Structure 1
Amino acid sequence: MHHVRYSKIKIALLIAFLLLVIAVLINNIAKIIFPLKYTDLIVKYSNENKIDPYLVFAIIKAESGFDPNARSHKNAIGLMQITEKTGKWGAESLNIKDFKTSDLYDPEINIKIGCWYINTLLKEFNNNEDLAIAAYNGGSGNVNSWLKDSKYSSSGADLDKIPFKETERYLKRVKNYRAIYKKIYE
């Protein structure tokens, strides 16, 4: 009788150990898939702009997968995929001297301008993060026109529907990535 109980205890301990190993592996794999790269820069510039650093991590993950040399088919550049126009506007607003478009490949300049731009969009859209994220991808002009169109916004303050599938998917992806970052690292 003791032998059977002893075997059950051994099996229970083995199962508990295996579950612990699996939990540790899953957490480590999650940290590889959702890394905290450029943390000092992201924390610095997200704090300066009063935005959640996890939102910045999520946007960088969605935009470039943390590749500082990324360049899109629309010529968006760097970690946060900043366009030349937005880069020049941000550099001027932030008093970045002698700015060149190629400076957007520099992680610090890219993150500094990207965080400023997120903050600018949040101000434009009354701190509505969904609208700011949609505008980051689809353009603030488009988001503003969608808000005025009853096909997309019944209230004029929120979007019921996003007509650009890419922007709709982008918003969901960034929100999911942010939730995952918070779950892993908070």
Structure 2
Amino acid sequence: MPCLARLYAYPFDHREIVVTAAQENKVSPSLVAGVILAESKFKEDAKSAPGAMGLMQLMPDTAHWIAEQLNQPKMTDEDIKEPATNIKLGTWYLAYLLDEFKGNEILALAAYNAGRGHVEEWMKEYGWDDSFNDIDAIPFGETRNYVRSVLANQKRYTELYEDVTDGK
């Protein structure tokens, strides 16, 4: 059964790129894979209605900002969609959010989905701190479901691809 799960439910395309980007940014490869599955189901040409693109569904403005932080040249939409670039930028951003929210995966994933501004507002409005762990308290249903989905994906990737996700 794990073979079928790997093939159909939890594919891991671009595994080497994901693992390399994750290691460079000190993020779990299974978390990155979980984000990609939730964002695009590993479809390279994925594009959301608001305009997010690529495997990690980056908004162009966010991708350009990340590229600036990494001292990368200005990117076209085609550059942003390219799998290696998209994974590199998205993984860096995920690491940035994890750092900003002191390693709290729930807050970092909520920010990846809903935007940092919303999460910062919620923290202020509801008195959340870096130990926040009540996914049910997230006010946006889509974001609640997204965080649950990514964390469940991460768990399955860890189980199915233990040889890859533990850095071996």
| TM-score (structure 2 length as normaliser) | 0.90
2:129 aligned residue: 156
Alignment identity in percent?
40
**Residue pairs, 1:142-153, within 5 angstroms:** 142-150=118-126, 153=127
Q: Which runs of 5+ in 1 are unaligned?
A: 1-25
Note if contact 2:43-2:54 (Cα within 8 Å) is conserved in structure 1. Answer: yes
2:33 aligned residue: 57
**Residue pairs, 1:62-141, within 5 angstroms:** 62-141=38-117
Deviation at 1:93, TM superposition (A): 1.0
Note if contact 2:52-2:59 (Cα within 8 Å) is conserved in structure 1. Answer: yes
Aligned-partner residue type, residue 56 of structure 2: M
Secondary structure in 2 matching 1:149? helix
1:7 aligned residue: none
| TM-score (structure 1 length as normaliser) | 0.81
In structure 2, distance between residues paired with 1:147 and 1:28? 41
1:176 aligned residue: 152
Secondary structure in 1 matching 2:125? coil
Q: Which has the higher contact order (CA 8 A, sep 6+)?
A: 2
Q: Which runs of 5+ in 2 are unaligned?
A: 163-168
Deviation at 1:159, TM superposition (A): 5.7
| Cα-Cα RMSD | 1.2
In structure 2, distance between residues paired with 1:183 and 1:126? 25
Aligned-partner residue type, residue 13 of structure 2: K
In structure 2, distance between residues paired with 1:89 and 1:172? 27
2:165 aligned residue: none
2:166 aligned residue: none
In structure 2, distance between residues paired with 1:45 and 1:183? 20
**Partner deviation per Cα, 1:12-59 (whole Å, 9 max, x = no partner):** xxxxxxxxxxxxxx1121111211210111011111100000000000
Question: How many correspondences in the alignment?
Answer: 158
Note if contact 2:64-2:74 (Cα within 8 Å) is conserved in structure 1. Answer: no
